[in-house]
Amino acid sequence: MAKLHVELVSPEREIWAGEADMVVAKTIDGELGILPGHAPVLGVMVDGSVVRIKPADGGDVVAAMVSGGFFSVASNEVSVLAEYAELGGEIDVRAAREEYERVSASEGDEAAAAQRRARARLRAAGEEV
């Protein structure tokens, strides 16, 4: 069966790359579930969303917080080009929860964006908010 070749990158580094059975990402047009053979797609990522990757080797689902960027699919190649991204396993949950509590008390457009990113960090780390 065909597999997806996935690359999740940010300007700082390659976050994750490998073969996958499925990728789920949220674009401004909605949440997309990508399986092998998917039609070509180009989308803008939602700032403060979570990308989930099901590795082809049967390993645990990879979850990453994404802050902006682009998502493209073509010929079983999936590229997530994020302005900023962080793997769930790299997130300090205690610090992320403290940040979430701090920004939740703020108001305004900037605060709303910070709240989405803080919530996404917790979700990527496996925490419910």
CA distance 67 to 61: 19
Same domain, 69 and 118: no
pLDDT in single tens digits along all 129 residues of the chain:
799 999 999 999 999 999 999 999 999 999 999 999 999 999 999 999 999 999 999 999 999 999 999 999 999 999 999 999 999 999 999 999 999 999 988 888 888 889 999 999 999 999 987
Please answer whether residues 82 and 65 qualify as being in contact, where contact means their C-beta atoms are separated by less than 8 angstroms.
Answer: no
CA distance 20 to 27: 19
**For residue 104, what are the domain limits?**
92-124
User: Per the structure, how many domains does the chain have?
Assistant: 2
Same domain, 76 and 25: yes
Same domain, 102 and 53: no
The pTM is what? 0.92
Same domain, 74 and 28: yes
Q: Let me know if residue 129 belongs to a domain.
A: no
For the chain, state the CA radius of gyration.
Answer: 15
Q: Where are the alpha helices (DSSP H) in 9-76?
A: none
